[in-house]
């Protein structure tokens, strides 16, 4: 294979190591959320918080699994800078709430080491691979129109600002969260929100479906697992708060929309490829997503 648009060996190796760490976290947080006092870097209550974080880590494990097996850098590159933003938030939350952690435990050691190293390691891997990027490796790729990219960018910028505000003022998140949060867990969720909206920003910058597909699939993994866990989380939901039913309905709605969007864009991509292969068939080429 040509080195154009390739993923470096060190990126694949790091991706494999990250998968191991993330799956260990998923096992504890998603499947055994009541055991965080003994087997995680800090005690997470209520268990709904641990379950949702575990679902998020499962989404990350899926992303890095694709990094390990993927052949083309441009299909995964949009996920790296958002991960850097997320790890910076995690490190800042750790420093701000140092006393909440199980200081001296092996779990705390790994947590702290990971979030000290990754804010530097992730952008290094992005920089290491960026020289191989090629914008023309998939000539039949679906391109987002300027209007769609601007819309995504505006939504993402607003979301990044809201996430930063939530991190700086965790009481805002605590006041309307669908279940009880502490300042630490509010800041953790603000970090996850930052990851989401920086991802949308990088998708807008990339402007094509091939750079979006894996990120959307990763998000769907997290959404699906969170939805499946709702029966286990139900007792923690504060149904007197408007955000509780909004969270439940919104989770299902976003997953359905994400799945539908994925199917639609894949179908458009397939049609465009067929139109390029058989230009005389009368098939229409969908070069832009409006």
| 279, pLDDT greater than 70 | no
More confident residue, 134 or 96: 96
* Residue 290: per-residue pLDDT: 67
Within 35-79, residue ranges assigned H as helices are 36-39, 47-69
Give the Cα separation of 269 and 141 in Å (integer).
7
**Looking at residues 92-117, what average pLDDT do you find?**
97
Give the pLDDT confidence of 226-257 residue by residue, as tens digits.
999 999 999 999 999 999 999 999 999 999 99
Tell me: pLDDT of 40 over 50. yes
Q: Residue 106: pLDDT above 60? A: yes
Residue 139: the pLDDT is: 67
Q: Which residue bears the tokens 């990851």?
A: 195
Q: What is the mean pLDDT of the chain?
A: 92
> Confidence class of residue 275 from pLDDT cuts 50, 70 and 90?
confident
Read off the pLDDT of each residue in 89-109 and give the average, rounded to a whole number: 97
The token duo for 26 is 């998923």
Minimum mean pLDDT among 79-93, 221-235, 271-285: which range? 271-285
Any idea where the domains of the chain sit in the sequence? 9-289
In this predicted structure, the answer to whether residue 168 has a pLDDT above a threshold of 90 is yes
Mean pLDDT to the nearest integer, 141-167? 96
- Band of pLDDT at residue 141, cut at 50, 70 and 90: confident
Higher pLDDT, 234 or 131: 234
pLDDT in tens, 41-66: 999 999 999 999 999 999 999 999 99
The answer to whether residue 285 scores a pLDDT higher than 50 is no
Q: Which residue has the tokens 């083309």?
A: 72
pLDDT band at residue 271, thresholds of 50, 70 and 90? confident
CA–CA distances in Å: residue 84 to residues 78, 79, 128, 192: 11, 9, 15, 12
Confidence of residue 105 (pLDDT cuts 50, 70, 90): very high
Instruction: List alpha helices for the chain, DSSP H.
Output: 9-26, 36-39, 47-69, 80-96, 106-130, 146-168, 170-176, 183-206, 213-228, 230-233, 243-277
Q: Is the pLDDT of residue 284 over 50?
A: no
Q: The whole model's pTM is what?
A: 0.93
Cβ neighbours of 95 (radius 10 Å): 10
């Amino acid at each position: 294979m040509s080195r154009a648009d390739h993923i470096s060996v060190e990126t694949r190796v790091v991706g494999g190591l990250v998968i191991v760490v993330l799956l260990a976290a998923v096992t504890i947080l998603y499947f055994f959320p009541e055991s965080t006092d003994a087997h995680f870097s800090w005690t997470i209550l209520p268990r709904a918080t641990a379950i949702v974080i575990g679902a998020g880590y499962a989404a990350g494990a899926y992303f890095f699994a694709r990094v390990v097996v993927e052949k083309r850098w441009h299909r995964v590159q949009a996920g790296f800078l958002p991960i850097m933003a997320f790890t910076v938030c995690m490190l800042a939350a750790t420093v701000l709430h140092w006393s909440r952690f199980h200081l001296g435990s092996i779990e705390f050691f790994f947590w702290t080491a990971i979030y000290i190293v990754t804010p530097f390691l992730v952008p290094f891997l992005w920089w290491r691979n960026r020289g191989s990027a090629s914008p023309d490796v998939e000539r039949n790729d679906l391109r987002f129109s300027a209007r769609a990219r601007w819309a995504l960018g505006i939504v993402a910028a607003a979301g990044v600002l809201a996430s930063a505000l939530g991190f700086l003022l965790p009481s805002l998140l605590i006041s309307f969260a669908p279940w009880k949060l502490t300042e630490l867990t509010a800041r953790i969720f603000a970090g996850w929100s930052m990851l989401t909206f920086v991802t949308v920003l990088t998708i807008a910058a990339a402007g094509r479906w091939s750079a979006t597909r894996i990120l959307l699939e990763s998000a769907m993994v997290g959404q699906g697992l969170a939805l499946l866990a709702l029966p286990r989380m139900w007792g923690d939901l504060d149904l007197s708060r408007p955000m509780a039913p909004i969270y439940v309905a919104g989770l299902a709605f976003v997953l359905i929309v994400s799945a539908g969007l994925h199917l639609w864009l894949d179908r458009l991509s397939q049609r465009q490829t067929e139109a390029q292969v058989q230009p005389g068939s009368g098939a229409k080429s969908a070069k832009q997503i409006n």
